[in-house]
Copies of this chain bind each other. A is one copy, B any other.
Amino acid sequence: MKIAALAGGVGGAKLADGLYQALPPNSLSVIVNTGDDFDHFGLYICPDLDTVCYTLAGLANPDTGWGLEGDTFQALEVAAALGGPDWFHIGDRDLGIHLERTRRLQAGESLSHITAAFCSHWGITARVIPMSDERVSTRVHTSSGTLAFQEYFVHQKCQPEVSGFTFENLETARPTAAALQALEEADAVVICPSNPWVSIGPILGFRDVYRLLEDKTVVAVSPIVGGKALRGPAAKMYQELGWEASAWSVARHYGSLLNGFVVDRLDEEYARIIDQSGIISLVTNTIMRSRPDRRELANQILHFLEEIDRRLSPG
């Protein structure tokens, strides 16, 4: 069974890691948001891509979910002492990755090629694929003006009220060939519990991606549990944009793309309305506190996909 997962940062990376543990080698492709990539100190930084790679490689800092475990912060401390910005935390080893990626990009290598090379170095047998090799930049329209994503997300800690999003260059950028191929070959697609607006939204913004998903069995896992986002601004964004902050809103948001939707036991109340909307619901524990939790959720999703296929098959 070949699975393509769509993921953003920490929450998505956790389920991607669960699927990576649960599936045989070379069965998983993870298509990762690059809308929050940005230039910082002259380097090209891909926060979501790095979080997914570090997590699958077992290198991620378990306390934060991002960055490298045991990393030091010498370079950033010196830059900050000289007056540089330190709101985006970059460790020294993390920096080594940004340095080499930037060098290769400037030498003409594509982001997907670089990512594949890094994954190979880290021994990751899943394919981690940036959604595009072209620059797509998420802008957040807020009460404090239009902000670059990391400016909103990290520097301003998601505090400004959100009124909408622009994904710059999304209309003209193309998804990576590797992403399209992974989706074509996939038996099912799992939308990880990442932010539907700013992590999954950019990936689904590619028409070719969306069209491929329409023909696939697609299951999403709600990033909203008990009315709150497990991390990040997803719940706050739903509210500020006039939606209820709930798993049901996420299901409506993805709408007809979904065949199945996974909600936490805390949100069992929504199972009936989800089922009535024509989406098959699965109620289970979705909170991944440990590596085994990730694998357990992934296994449940894989069984759920089989059940959906049984229920949807003409026979």
A residues with CB within 8 A of B: 40-44, 71-72, 74-85, 91-93, 95-97, 99-100, 102-103, 106, 117-118, 121
Contacts of A44 in B (CB 8 A): 42
Is the pair A79, B92 in contact by a Cβ cutoff of 8 Å?
no
Is the pair A41, B103 in contact by a Cβ cutoff of 8 Å?
yes
Is the pair A99, B121 in contact by a Cβ cutoff of 8 Å?
no
The answer, among B75, B81, B91, for a CB contact under 8 Å with A121, is: B81
Contacts of A82 in B (CB 8 A): 96-97, 100, 117-118, 121
Beyond A77-B96, A97-B79, is A103–B42 a contact (Cβ under 8 Å)?
yes
Bound CA span A81–B93, Å: 11
Contacts of A99 in B (CB 8 A): 41-43, 75-76, 79, 84
Is the pair A92, B118 in contact by a Cβ cutoff of 8 Å?
no
Contacts of A80 in B (CB 8 A): 96
Contacts of A117 in B (CB 8 A): 82-83
Bound CA span A96–B102, Å: 16
Bound CA span A123–B147, Å: 36
Tell me the smallest distance from the CB of A45 to a CB of chain B, in Å: 11
Contacts of A92 in B (CB 8 A): 72, 74-75, 92, 95
Tell me the smallest distance from the CB of A59 to a CB of chain B, in Å: 10
Chain B residue with Cβ nearest A84: B100
Chain A to chain B contacts (Cβ below 8 Å), 30 pairs: A40-B103, A42-B42, A42-B43, A42-B102, A42-B103, A42-B106, A43-B99, A72-B72, A72-B74, A74-B74, A74-B95, A75-B96, A76-B96, A77-B93, A78-B93, A78-B100, A79-B96, A79-B97, A79-B99, A81-B121, A82-B100, A82-B117, A82-B118, A83-B117, A83-B121, A84-B96, A84-B103, A85-B103, A92-B92, A95-B95
Is the pair A97, B78 in contact by a Cβ cutoff of 8 Å?
yes
Beyond A42-B42, A43-B42, is A100–B74 a contact (Cβ under 8 Å)?
no
Tell me the smallest distance from the CB of A212 to a CB of chain B, in Å: 31
Bound CA span A123–B103, Å: 33
